[in-house]
Amino acid sequence: MIRSTVIGSGAYLPDRVVTNKDLEAIVDTSDQWIRERTGIERRHIAADHQKTSDLAILAASRALDDAGLMGSDIDAIILATATPDETFPATAVKVQAAIGMQGGFAFDLQAVCTGFIYAITTADMYIKSGMVKRVMVIGAETFSRILDWEDRTTCVLFGDGAGAVILEAAEGDGTTDDRGILNSCLYSDGTKHHLLQTDGGASSTQTVGHVRMLGREVFRHAVVNLADAFAEVLNGVNLSPDDIDLVVPHQANKRILDATVKKFGIPKEKVVVTVQEHANTSAASVPLALNHALKEGRIAKGDLIILEGMGGGFTWGASLIRW
């Protein structure tokens, strides 16, 4: 059986750091409120000249270095973003050109904060079908560009960044001892789209709009949906929460992470938390957290890892990986 294994990881956070204290000068908020309600301490904001593609290219290049590969070794790029450089063409094709990938194909995928989970699952399907051998999967965002910097209920929550992984086809036995992606689940519920959306877009206002969110409602659904996804990917292959070595969740709010894993009795030491460093970077947050865990030496060969995400749409999902 073909399995998709992770053979490289890269991340990039812009140099400019904006602390909670800095935001106190912009909106009616406080460092204490932001820390207590979200766990966020600071966020990184792209320089004026940096676009989503620039962040994505840096993360992708670092993933190539990590894997010891060149752009020409990659068959496809799937870039998850809600903040593309332009309405079209896809930001992914700029990455394709920049890393020197001459053949293959590249496209963007839009599932907001669940984008990376959707992208890695989509890449897994292409690999399992035999169509491609190596896929660059990227989550990259410049959410700072679509924030209303006068709206304290949203502008304190988000940041910019990019993360990437390279997936490669490998032969497995079809058991949960195989290395690679073992199971995934994806969901969306369009009846909730108004709870987290932009108030503009190409075909509605001819602008990109700003982020609008009914935070309390989103919070409530996030805990339930993430817990469901978590259970489903494990149950689907007859594994239990005790088998998990590390949880790499979407980094939106530390209280959501705590509440989700508490349901399954997973100790906090097994959960990667990076939200304090970069706030919610939407599709970039899972690969950023994954890269952080790798750099800290928290992932060993054979470990069982869950990636999970939830965001606008609503969209949510999870991916179970044997490292």
Contacts with ligand UT7 by CB under 6 A lie at 29, 33, 37-38, 113, 152-153, 156, 215-216, 218-219, 222, 252-253, 256, 280, 310-311
Of all residues in this chain, which one has the CB nearest to ligand UT7 in the complex?
215
Residue with Cβ nearer ligand UT7 (307 or 310):
310
If the CB atoms of residues 179 and 212 are measured against ligand UT7, the closer one turns out to be: 212
C-alpha torsion angle, residues 44, 49, 54, 56 (rounded to 10): 30
CB 320 within 8 A of CB 181: yes
- Least distance (Å) between residue 153 CB and ligand UT7: 4
Q: Which amino acid belongs to residue 186?
A: L
The sheet that has 105-109: what strands, in order across it? Answer: 2-12, 160-171, 134-142, 76-80, 105-109
Residues 6+ apart with CB under 8 A from 45: 14, 16, 17, 18, 144, 159, 160
Q: Are 165 and 74 in contact (CB under 8 A)?
A: no
Q: Where are the alpha helices (DSSP H) in 10-163?
A: 20-24, 31-38, 52-67, 91-98, 115-128, 152-155
Q: Is 93 helix (H, G, I), strand (E, B) or coil?
A: helix
**Active-site annotation holds for 113:** yes
Minimum gap (Å) between residue 141 Cβ and ligand UT7: 11
Of residues 180 and 313, the one with the C-beta less far from ligand UT7: 313
**For every residue of 128-163, which 3-state class applies, written as one string?**
HCCCCCEEEEEEEEEHHHHCCCCCHHHHCCECEEEE
User: CB 253 → ligand UT7: shortest distance, Å?
Assistant: 4
Shortest Cβ distance from residue 35 to ligand UT7 (Å)? 11
Find the shortest distance in angstroms from Cβ 74 to ligand UT7: 28
The residue (of 41 and 245) whose beta carbon lies closer to ligand UT7 is 41
Residue 265 Cβ vs ligand UT7, minimum distance, rounded to whole Å: 22
Query: Which amino acid is present at 45?
Result: I
Task: Choose between 71 and 249: whose C-beta lies nearer to ligand UT7.
Answer: 249
Longest CA pairwise span in the chain (Å): 57
210 is a catalytic site residue: no
Q: Tokens for 35, please give them.
A: 């820390």
Whether 183 is a known active-site residue: answer no
Measured between alpha carbons, how far is 113 from 141 in angstroms, rounded to an integer? 10
Catalytic annotation, pick one of 20, 113, 225, 253: 113
Query: Please, which residue, 30 or 176, has the CB nearer to ligand UT7?
Result: 30
CA–CA gap between residue 253 and residue 21 (Å, rounded): 18
The identity of residue 170, as a single letter, is A
Catalytic site positions: 113, 250, 280
